[in-house]
Chain A
Amino acid sequence: MKTQQYIDSGILETFVLGAASEEEVKELLYMKAKYPEISEALQQLEIDMEKLARDLAVEPPSGTWYKIAQEINAVIPHQDASPQVFNRRDSRKRPDTENGKDNQYIEVEGESSHMRLHKAWRWIFAAVFVLGKIFLAFAIYFYLENKHTQQQIQEMRTEIRELKNKK
């Protein structure tokens, strides 16, 4: 009877909506562990929340997971790289251990030949490429302009020479 009153009070609904106070949460977790009916009622509410969310779901853009995976990959290796006890039997024999030396050094050289760059470099590379094209266009323009001027000078010299000869 007490459990039914508790369920009917609406406290479970308040909890699944994240609006319960700390005290209410503590009490609810205690009640949930003690009374299976409360646990079942809570599970049903959680299913209702899923149902509501599923009906109002919006598909994330295709690149979203890639961004998340990249960020997680940058964090996970550091978290998991905790030192573990060296096991001589399990490890492959290496030249220095064969010589009786302790395995004090860790090979840190990466196997990948690729380099990762920050995305900002994309714009820098694009700017350098565009500027390169602009300089090239100017160079060609001034080369042709210069060639044309040289030709004109040559023609004028010829004309002056001819005029002098006539005099």
Chain B
Amino acid sequence: MNTQVQNSASVGQSRLLLVHKLYQQYAGMLLGYMIDVIKNQAVAEQYLIDIFKNVPHELDELTNPDVNPFCHLQAMARKKLADYSSRSTPENESKPALCNNKYTRQMTEEQQLIFCGVHWHGKTIASLATELGKPEEAIRKILKDCFTIIRSNN
């Protein structure tokens, strides 16, 4: 059978360009998020490299018009950070998950505990419900209020 391995450089190059475009748009946002989570810039940078190294495998999903590329990349970052979160869970679970930025400063302490706990500390709705002694539905409603605050902030 006559077969020929054709030069794949142009295909590889176009994929790399797509990854670069995503990097230019979202790398800073992802790095900022990961630094807030792990509080270590060098480790966060290494995680950023690891995430973008895997982006070529996710290009179909990332270029899907129904998918928000940033949220997909953030989900990849969350997966990557899951190990880190689970390693530090025993300490973190006992500590209140507060954070300090222009959005969270407008939230009540309870809202901060819930929003920061989920977004930056990887806590589950169930664990927060137990921690705060509230039903999961109430935790979700508070999360919704947090988003209303973020949306109203300019």
Chain A interfacial positions (CB closer than 8 Å to B): 8-11, 13-14, 16-19, 43-46, 48-61, 64-65, 67-69, 71-73, 75-77, 79-86, 88, 91, 102-103, 106
Interface size on B, residues (CB 8 A): 56
Please state if B144 and A10 are interface contacts (CB–CB under 8 Å).
yes
Please state if B28 and A60 are interface contacts (CB–CB under 8 Å).
yes
Return B132 CB to nearest CB of chain A, in Å: 15
In the complex, number of A-B residue pairs with CB atoms less than 8 Å apart: 151
Given A61-B45, A86-B4, A73 and B146 touching (CB < 8 A)? no
For the residues of A in contact with B, the DSSP-based class is helix
Jot down 12 A-B pairs with beta carbons below 8 A, ordered by A: A9-B141, A19-B123, A43-B68, A58-B28, A64-B49, A65-B20, A68-B52, A76-B8, A76-B12, A76-B56, A77-B12, A103-B4
Q: Which residue of B lies closest to A65 (CB)?
A: B23
For the residues of B in contact with A, the DSSP-based class is helix
Return B153 CB to nearest CB of chain A, in Å: 8
Chain B interfacial positions (CB closer than 8 Å to A): 2-6, 8-9, 11-12, 15-16, 19-20, 23, 27-33, 35-36, 41, 45, 48-49, 52-53, 55-56, 68, 70-71, 74-75, 78, 101-103, 118-119, 123-125, 137, 139-144, 146-147, 150-151
